[in-house]
Amino acid sequence: MLSDLGSWAVDSVRQQLCRLLEEEAAQNGLRTSTPMSPGESEWSVADQEVIFQLVDGAQIGVSLTARMVMYPLKSLSVIIGSGTQPMGIEDGDSCMFCAMKDRCRYRDARVHA
């Protein structure tokens, strides 16, 4: 139960962060893409290594295992595109691209934009 609560908390923070970034981008006349994380949909979790090459997770106490799992386990990386032109599918969420969307027990409980 505590693991589920932790996952819910991480997802809630992710949703709040994405809304904040989308609002800030809109105030600056920019558009944003649907937020995505390695391991979602068809995006390989192996690309987590690329993110860790660009951003030093150690500065905030996050490391990456040899199997591309972040530690602490309830950590999250997310990518959001931003620019003046349309960015793929806008106003969506990562659930749209998830292979488990039809059988996910959390999808209906999640707040969608």
User: Would the pLDDT of 30 be above 70?
Assistant: yes
Of 7-21, 24-38, 77-91, which range is least confident?
A: 77-91
User: Would the pLDDT of 75 be above 70?
Assistant: yes
Strands, E, within the chain: which ranges?
31-32, 63-64, 70-71, 82-83
Selected residue with higher pLDDT from 101 and 63: 63
Q: Which of 8, 4, 5, 10 is closest to 72 using CA atoms?
A: 10
Q: What DSSP element (H or E) covers 27? A: helix 2-27
Question: In this structure, are 56 and 1 located in the same domain?
Answer: no
Question: In this structure, are 10 and 28 located in the same domain?
Answer: yes
Quick check: bond before 86 cis, omega within 30?
A: no
Structural domain harbouring 64: 37-77
User: Would the pLDDT of 113 be above 60?
Assistant: no
Q: Which percentage of the chain shows pLDDT scores above 70?
A: 79
Q: Which of 1, 15, 3, 12 is closest to 113 using CA atoms?
A: 15
Question: In this structure, are 53 and 30 located in the same domain?
Answer: no
Question: In this structure, are 87 and 67 located in the same domain?
Answer: no
Pair of tokens at residue 10:
């991480």
Of 23-27, 32-36, 105-109, which range is least confident?
A: 105-109
